[in-house]
Amino acid sequence: IPQEYQTALPILKKIEDAGFEAYFVGGSVRDVLLGHPIHDVDIATSAFPVEIKEIFPRTIDVGIEHGTVLVLDGDEQYEITTFRTESAYQDFRRPDHVEFVRSLEEDLKRRDFTINAFALKEDGEIVDLFDGLVDLENKVLRAVGNPHERFHEDALRMMRGLRFVSQLGFQLEAETFASIYENHALLEKISVERINIEFIKLLLGRYRQAGLEMFVETECYIYCPQLRRFGEGLLRFSELTDRQIEKEIHAWVLLIDQLGLAETEIRPFMKAWKCSNEIIRTTQAVFTGLQFRKTQMFTKQLLYTLGEEQAILTEELLPYFGLDNDVVAVQEQYHQLPIHSLHDLAISGHDLLAHVKRKPGKWMKEILTLCEQAVVEQVIPNEKKELLNYAAAAIEKKEC
């Protein structure tokens, strides 16, 4: 039993002492059984939310209408969710109603895959109603119950299935696979934000190759934003290398690179995926940096423009193309730049005005940029006098 469960055991005990059932459930049980590290500990209980709030002094209502109460215990916090069934799925998305129930079995039945439907009791007993242990042993991903019905209830489960293939290297069980293929078009009903989360997890999986192959074979990709014409590109991406992708930005850059998108296509592509502006900007910068860095070393100017973080992100991508990289050297080179932003420049617009006695205007920004470049490229030192002379000369040259 891992440390995370040890520290949470008193929570289960307290619920049981109050006369209810409580179990560890969800992905953490699966990961414990696989010997993987766990991130979030989910607890399911027969107690209703109000009853949980009576048992624990410090709670937060994070999703009480879904039956989830956050229990604070020292520095730890636990999501405790009442056993529930989900009924009346319309429009292939999340359920309209959740109904709280007292039966663990009902709760486990609504879960997506057999390996996600274990419950682990305080005494170490594993509740395994759908032979998930056998599937775990055989590395098989199988929908709980009738896959066709389950994907109709919530089409996102198909994307979850594909990302588990990528994360775990499991095979889709034949009927589960057939059913995803059959229902792929239902993904259109799912919000892009939810698909995005699963897609990124798929791209970051240890078994990305297998995950992407299934993504293409089941034709789910056709119903994801902007990918309709990229079946081959996605397969090319899957064959890029076996190296796992560790960061979301890397995933986007590599995907865009392998799909053969042009720089100007990045923004609309990522907007369609509902990526944040910050992620889009970083992806654009790293993509541009990468195209350059694939064939030559960073210039001072490019390092300066990218900034340290983006330069490192770029350098880290080289091994995916079979190229050597040296992140430490890039860091050193960056730190050796004479300035790191316009702020560091030894003159300001103010100094410029005082020195050349012209009216303020657009020319100031232009001249400052010229000075900035000259300093970055070490054409002149970052000293006020030198810069003002350089600026005056540049203005004169422009005017004649």
Q: Which stretch binds Mg ion (CB under 5 A): 19-27, 121-129, 204-212, 231-239?
A: 19-27
Question: Which of 142, 157, 250, 293 lies at the binding interface for ligand ATP (CB under 6 A)?
Answer: 157
Give the x/- contact pattern for ligand ATP in 20-39, rule: CB under 6 A.
Answer: ------xx------------
Residue 185 to residue 155: CA distance in whole angstroms? 9
- The distance of closest approach from Cβ of residue 26 to ligand ATP in the complex, given in angstroms and rounded to an integer, is 3
Give the x/- contact pattern for ligand ATP in 88-127, rule: CB under 6 A.
Answer: -----------------------xx---xx----------
Size of the site for Mg ion (CB under 5 A): 2
Residue 205 to residue 248: CA distance in whole angstroms? 11
Rg of the chain in Å (alpha carbons): 28
Show Cβ contacts of residue 254 under 8 Å, excluding neighbours closer than 6 positions: 203, 237, 240, 245, 317, 320
Which residue has the CB atom at the shortest distance from Mg ion?
Answer: 27
Which residue has the CB atom at the shortest distance from ligand ATP?
Answer: 27
Which of 370, 229, 382 minimizes the C-alpha distance to 301? Answer: 370
Which of 157, 189, 28, 142 minimizes the C-alpha distance to 86? Answer: 157
Which positions from 129 through 148 interact with ligand ATP, judged by CB under 6 A?
none
Residue 352 amino acid letter = L
Dihedral, 37, 38, 39, 44 alpha carbons, nearest 10: 180
Question: Which of 27, 147, 205, 233 lies at the binding interface for Mg ion (CB under 5 A)?
Answer: 27
Q: Which helix H or strand E contains 80, and what residues bound it? A: strand 76-82
Question: Which of 156, 204, 245, 259 lies at the binding interface for ligand ATP (CB under 6 A)?
Answer: 156
Q: Does position 314 bind ligand ATP by CB under 6 A?
A: no
Taking CB within 5 to 8 Å according to partner kind, which of Mg ion, ligand ATP, none is near residue 154? ligand ATP
Residue 286 to residue 288: CA distance in whole angstroms? 5
Count Cβ atoms within 10 A of the Cβ of residue 398 and give its class: 0-12 exposed, 13-18 middle, 19 or more buried: exposed
- The distance of closest approach from Cβ of residue 30 to Mg ion in the complex, given in angstroms and rounded to an integer, is 9
Q: What residues line the site for Mg ion (CB under 5 A)?
A: 27, 40
Q: What residues line the site for ligand ATP (CB under 6 A)?
A: 26-27, 40, 42, 111-112, 116-117, 154, 156-157, 160
